[in-house]
Amino acid sequence: MEFQHTSVLLNEAIEGLKIKPGGVYLDGTLGGAGHSYEIAKRLTEGGRLYGIDQDEAAIRTAGKRLEEFSDRVTILRDNYENAVSRLKELGVTGVDGILLDLGVSSYQLDNAERGFSYKFDTKLDMRMDQRSGVSAYDIVNGYSKEELARIIRDYGEDRFANNIAKHIVSTRETKPVETTYELNEIIKAAIPAKIRATGGHPSKRTYQAIRIECNRELEVLQNSLEGMIDFLCPGGRICIITFHSLEDRITKSIFKKQESPCTCPPEFPVCVCGKVSKGRVITSKPILPGEEELAENSRSKSAKLRIFERA
């Protein structure tokens, strides 16, 4: 199956990066290279783009798509949490722009074998990097009832989290939960029929929660952003596209803290903590997809773009 993904907020993100033809850029979530293609074609010989992704299929597809820019593009297979250290190993001391598109690709959702979707009957997996150890199967069959309830409640924002966790644990006492359809039936049994009739697919929130936990999505974002901002050259920008309220909250909070890091009590006449602003938030409110994009790509409806500029 071909790695396909429609880049969300493409024009808005490219515009937000304020690309300099001779600049150095990082696409930390390369995917199908939709954003990267637009960055690369704006660079001259002196410019450089580093694209990073942990998905092998994405690396293959991106390599083909960016082939015409091979003189100015370097592709690395890794998680973006290691991007700064990987670039430093290559002798890069700073970048003029960073892009993170945190959405799950259409390829990952639509490829039955990857186990991301409740729509196909397949083995539970959900790993973006299939070299990594913990899969959805391990989480569903290994986490305690309390741990399962916590992630389904916090990451899936499902009010039936406790009951879903209880049903999973009860079922796996007889045999392991091995496939997506087996998990679907367990979730369905844990949610009242009248809620199932009106609230979309009953598995949606639980699958989202397991995927986030499996790939450490929020942890990686939380641990990476400050270091990425530090790695920006003066005037450099970081653009982050989120698809989940928790991702957006983390991004907004870290951007705000980097803009206004002072911890002095408000009654102090002057700052004594010595913490200096690293830049400014460009987007007081997130940029959302327009009507045309929403009509063309339904998966863009929860996307939000936030931009920070280094001082």
Using a 10 angstrom Cβ sphere, with 0-12 exposed, 13-18 middle and 19 or more buried, the burial of residue 182 is middle
pLDDT tens digits, the chain, 311 residues: what are they?
A: 555 567 899 999 999 999 999 999 999 999 889 999 999 999 998 999 999 999 888 899 999 999 999 999 999 999 999 999 999 999 999 999 999 999 887 777 778 788 888 999 999 999 999 888 799 999 999 999 999 999 999 999 999 999 999 999 999 999 999 999 999 999 999 999 888 877 688 999 999 999 999 999 999 999 999 999 999 999 999 999 999 999 999 999 999 999 999 999 989 998 899 899 999 999 999 999 999 999 998 889 999 999 999 99
Domain regions of the chain by residue span: 10-106+217-310, 133-214
**CATH superfamily of this structure's domain 10-106+217-310:** Vaccinia Virus protein VP39 (3.40.50.150)
Q: Cα torsion at 123, 125, 128, 132 (round to 10°)?
A: -130
CATH fold label, 133-214:
DNA polymerase; domain 1 (1.10.150)
pTM of the model: 0.93
Please state, in angstroms and rounded to a whole number, the distance separating the CA atoms of residues 160 and 187. 9
**Amino acid identity of 233?**
C
Q: What is the chain's alpha carbon radius of gyration, rounded to the nearest angstrom?
A: 21
Q: In the sheet where 304-310 sits, what is the strand order?
A: 73-77, 48-53, 24-27, 95-101, 232-242, 304-310, 279-281
Identical fold, 10-106+217-310 and 133-214? no
